Structure 1
Amino acid sequence: MKIYWLAFWIIIFDQITKWMVKHWMNLHDSISLIGTTVQLTYLENPGMAFGIRFFETHPFWSRWFFSIVSILASIGLIWYIYRMRHERRMYRVSLALILGGAVGNLIDRVTFGRVVDFMDVDIPDLFGMQRWPVFNVADSSVVLGMIVMSAFVMFTKHGKEQVQADEEETQTMIGTKKEMAE
């Protein structure tokens, strides 16, 4: 399916940019692009988005916990994209954006135990933060995918119908499982 190519190219672009940062910068170095507003800052994140961490005192468990969650999410997205192969293109594009970002960060996590982040943007007074957390291409892809999906669901009749159909299918599955248990 063509939509998987979008995820593939996101993964490639993400990995190339991370490779460039790792090979041309030292950890914690910053390069100013637009004053202090936009910088390249090389960080390695052992946690998840925005530096959220679990098992902080046990890096081995943290690495594999996030890896397993990412693997399961990626498999679920691959299956769901296939299942939605006849749905609207924008919905599938949003899923491919999320998949590309998830796999891009998964590669780092499995290979290095941490994710390379480098985009450092100052967004003053947003959510009470001094600076936005440093992020990467994969993170941007996931966020963009979520925005596209949210817009699709909220602003299109087809999106609202899809959400309703998914909810009805879930309720049917729950009812079937209850009947089988009885």
Structure 2
Amino acid sequence: MPRGRFTVGALRTVLTALSRSIKRRRWKNNQRGTVVRRDWLLAFGLVALDQLSKILVKGFRIGAFVHHGMVPGQSIPILGEWVRITFVENPGIAFGLPVGGAKVLLTLFSFAVSMMLGWYLRHLGGVPFRARLGVIFLFAGAMGNFIDRAFYGVLYGEAPLLHGQVVDFIDVEFPDFTLFGRVYTRWPTFNIADSCITLGILLTLLFHRYLPSVRQLRR
């Protein structure tokens, strides 16, 4: 009889511990789900900000309302010659670097990178925010420029699908320098997506030790 009471008590203890473990796991999963949703909200908020800035520069039409935007090559001083808004359409990669004739491949590559970063970000709920932020910036930057390349040509009646050009407009003064054989008297014109990519690379390099490998995520 004592042995039976002991067995029932032990079973009750095990079940209680198991129940608490399940509740803790559910709580952690809920917390991670909340974190992931916030990360997505921030990422797509950055994409929206990037796209809004570009259509304000390039112009748009909604019904009877027309915003004409700027003419390619037009420049508006913000802080004298140090900071200007200069409308440039870039057929290449970040900061106006050329890619030759591989336009469609570049567009498809940027889409593939966006999807891989999105998949990776989805699994980082338990990673410190400072490390996740780098991936958030990278995703937002890649997705922002992909939208330009994939759809702007069609939306503005300028080029076929996947042949659009990226809208750049942030123009800052910088000491002369040479990059890939080209001499620049100002920093190459860029956009918010380019800035996100740069910040994402820097943050990822700083906090890469907190980021799991793809192999670890698949276990």
- Pairwise same-fold verdict (TM > 0.5): yes
Q: Which residue of 2 aligns with 1:34?
A: 79
Deviations 1:58-100 (A, max 9, x none): xxx51x1111101110110011112222111111111011111
SS at match of 1:117: strand
Contact 1:6-1:97 at 8 Å conserved across structures: no
What's the CA shift for 1:5? 0.9
User: CA RMSD, aligned part only?
Assistant: 2.1
1:13-162 alignment runs, 5 A limit? 13-23=49-59, 24-56=69-101, 61-62=102-103, 64-111=104-151, 112=153, 113-125=164-176, 129-153=184-208, 159=209, 162=210
In 2, Cα distance between equivalents of 1:108 and 1:77: 18
CA contact (8 A) 2:92 2:98 kept: yes
- Equivalent positions of 1:156-175 (< 5 A) are 159=209, 162=210, 166=213, 169=215
List gaps (5 residues or longer) in structure 1. 154-158, 174-182
Greater relative contact order (Cα 8 A, min sep 6): structure 1 or 2? 1
Letter of the structure 2 residue corresponding to residue 123 of structure 1 = F
For residues 207 and 84 of structure 2, what CA distance do their matches in structure 1 show?
32
For 1:129 and 1:43, how far apart are their aligned partners in 2? 15
* AA aligned opposite 1:114: Q
Contact 1:78-1:99 within 8 A present in 2 as well: yes
Distance 2:110 2:127 in 1: 25
How many Å separate the matches in 2 of 1:107 and 1:71?
9
| Candidates 48, 69, 85, aligned match of 1:12 | 48
Letter in 1 for 2:82: T
| Count of paired positions | 157
2: CA distance between counterparts of 1:68 and 1:136? 20
In structure 2, stretches of 5+ residues that fail to align are 1-36, 60-68, 154-163
**Among the aligned pairs, what percent are the same residue?**
34
Give 1:166's aligned amino acid: S
- Please state how far the C-alpha of 1:146 moved relative to its aligned partner: 1.4
Provide the rounded CA distance (Å) in 1 between the counterparts of 2:53 and 2:213: 37
Moved over 6 A (4+): none
Q: Shift of the alpha carbon at 1:25?
A: 0.8
TM superposition shift of 1:148:
1.7
8 Å Cα contact 2:96/2:190 also seen in 1: no
1:103-141 superposed Cα distances (whole Å, 9 cap, x missing partner): 111111001211000000011145674211000011111
Q: Tell me the distance in 1 between the aligned counterparts of 2:184 and 2:92.
A: 19
